[in-house]
Amino acid sequence: MSLQNRDKKHLWHPLTQHKLQPNSIAVVKAKDCIITDENGNEYIDAISSWYTCMYGHCNPFITNRVAAQMQQLDQVVFSGFTHEPAIQLSEALIAILPENQNKIFFSDNGSTAVEVGIKMALQYHFNRAEKRNVLLAFEDGFHGDTFGAMSVSGLSVYNGPFEEFFIDVKRIPTPNGNNHEAILQKLQAIVSTNKVAGFVYEPLVQGAAAMKMYDADGLEMILKFCKINNIITIADEVMTGFGKTGKHFASLHLDTKPDIMCLSKALTAGLMPMALTTCTQAIYNAFYSDNMSMALFHGHTYSANPLACVAALASIELLQTEIIQHSIQSIIASHQAFDKRIKLHPKVKSTRQIGIIYALELNVEMERYGDLRNKLFNFYMENGVFLRPLGSTIYIQAPYVITPQQLEKVYAVIEESLSII
Ligand SMILES: Cc1ncc(COP(=O)(O)O)c(C=O)c1O
């Protein structure tokens, strides 16, 4: 029996309506930018397996380091113990994070990184005897699937059955260059009637909202407003972190740095699940006390797993190499050239780019999970390219190691797909 058929017996997949989507593609291997299925079909991974494997699948520089670590120390409790991979990783990260970040807290996925950020912000005020019970977030943000992360996410498509259990969150629109005054007025109104603990945001680009990009000056204004009102700013860089926007972190494009940052995905280059919540010394100091109950009572079994730490260390080393930095610049330039030729196409409504993230908006009404979206997805797969359209948005977030020929194929297939809609 095929893997695809065996899968159906016991497995329940994420974000899947199994009655409508009974078949999952069974992948048997992945190398560099190519995923291979059980029938031998090859696909270029043009979204880096949800933005993780930026240095290519099964990159030997990373896998060899992890294999060596496996002989030394696999796992140990991180409460009361420490180890060199975690210490080295903290040192490597502090060297590249915005200069105000000074402490690093481990968990295992993007949602938990955000969950920890929210708890840090709420408890920061609580420990300072100033209870604040409301959070601030953007309208279309996505921050993950745990309850705190869902609460701050504005994309209702995922949240319907759970909304009545959420944390109280006030929402503001993303700045677009024309609505700054209106946002400021809304912020004033929110803080005059609520005790706002923190502001959770995806800096400059909202991934699940279909790679929606927004105005940096407007974000700067919001962050400054938060600082003045002692609202803890929490940058969710789960998607944008580690080079995607052309800088190591999206927050480095801004003058006002976040108090807290959430990182995952490309952190370990797709090899091991791990996440981090980093913060300033001032946040940490609010928890530092003779009183045990002021500590952050949050801990996951696999916190700072040594194998994941080593995968992250190798990834950060690769990120900083000249060859990867050069590849990032080449991809940026290729996207710009592609943009020139595609943006005038009658089926294209608009295009946008930040760093290696490129998105194209189709001139067609399309449901997020509708037939037309599925037709496009199937077309890409039949033509050997793994792209996941988000409604009427087609986006590329390819590994930094994609070859020019592979990237050209991704562009060509996107261009061809415009004739089937
Ligand atoms: C910005 C952002 N935050 C959080 C998450 C949640 O991460 P995870 O799926 O690892 O829980 C995602 C996932 O796509 C994301 O894009």
106 in contact with ligand 1, CB cutoff 6 A: no
Query: Residue 238 C-alpha to ligand 1 middle, in angstroms?
Result: 6
Residue type, position 4, single letter: Q
Strands 196-201 and 205-206: unpaired
Residues 147, 165: Cα–Cα separation, whole Å: 8
Most ligand 1 atoms within 8 A of CB, residue of 238, 274, 276, 390 to mutate: 238
Q: What pLDDT is stored for residue 367 in this prediction?
A: 76
Q: What confidence tens digit (pLDDT) does each residue in 130-178 have?
A: 989 999 999 999 999 999 999 999 976 668 899 999 999 999 999 999 9
Residues 176, 186: Cα–Cα separation, whole Å: 15
114 in contact with ligand 1, CB cutoff 6 A: yes
Continuous H helices in 71-228: 84-96, 110-127, 147-152, 180-193, 216-228
Residues β-bridged to residue 276: 106, 263
Nearest to 217 by CA among 266, 253, 242, 170: 253
- Closest protein CA for atom 7 of ligand 1: 110
Helix, coil or strand: residue 205: strand
CA dihedral 212, 353, 260, 52 (to 10 degrees): 100
Residues 414, 142: Cα–Cα separation, whole Å: 26
Residue type, position 165, single letter: F
Using the atom order of ligand 1, give the atom closest to the CA of residue 114.
4
Q: What pLDDT is stored for residue 156 in this prediction?
A: 64
Query: Residue 149 C-alpha to ligand 1 middle, in angstroms?
Result: 9
238 in contact with ligand 1, CB cutoff 6 A: yes
Distances (CA, A) of 30 to 38, 242, 405: 11, 21, 18
The phi and psi torsions of 277 (rounded to 5 degrees) equal -120, 120
Distances (CA, A) of 86 to 58, 60, 198, 208: 22, 21, 28, 30
Residues of the chain with pLDDT under 50: none
pLDDT > 70 in the chain, percent:
99
Q: What pLDDT is stored for residue 222 in this prediction?
A: 98
Helix, coil or strand: residue 248: coil
The phi and psi torsions of 367 (rounded to 5 degrees) equal -75, 155
pTM of the model: 0.98
- Residues making up the chain, counted from first to last: 421
Which region holds residue 57: left if phi is over 0, alpha if psi is between -120 and 50, else beta? beta
For 151, counting Cβ atoms within 10 Å of its Cβ (0-12 exposed, 13-18 middle, 19+ buried), the class is buried
207 in contact with ligand 1, CB cutoff 6 A: yes
Strands 27-31 and 34-37: antiparallel
Continuous H helices in 271-361: 281-285, 306-319, 322-342
pLDDT, averaged across the chain: 97
Residues 161, 141: Cα–Cα separation, whole Å: 18
Q: What's the token pair of residue 308? A: 């994941």
Residue type, position 345, single letter: H
Tokens 């609505």 label which residue?
179
Q: What's the token pair of residue 289? A: 């006390």
Query: What's the chain's Rg over C-alpha atoms?
Result: 22
Q: Judge contact between 60 and 49, C-beta under 8 A.
A: no
Residues 124, 285: Cα–Cα separation, whole Å: 9
Q: What pLDDT is stored for residue 406 in this prediction?
A: 98
Query: Residue 303 C-alpha to ligand 1 middle, in angstroms?
Result: 18
Q: What pLDDT is stored for residue 92 in this prediction?
A: 98
Cα angle for residues 410, 274, 295 (degrees, 5° grid):
145
Query: Residue 242 C-alpha to ligand 1 middle, in angstroms?
Result: 14
Residue type, position 222, single letter: I
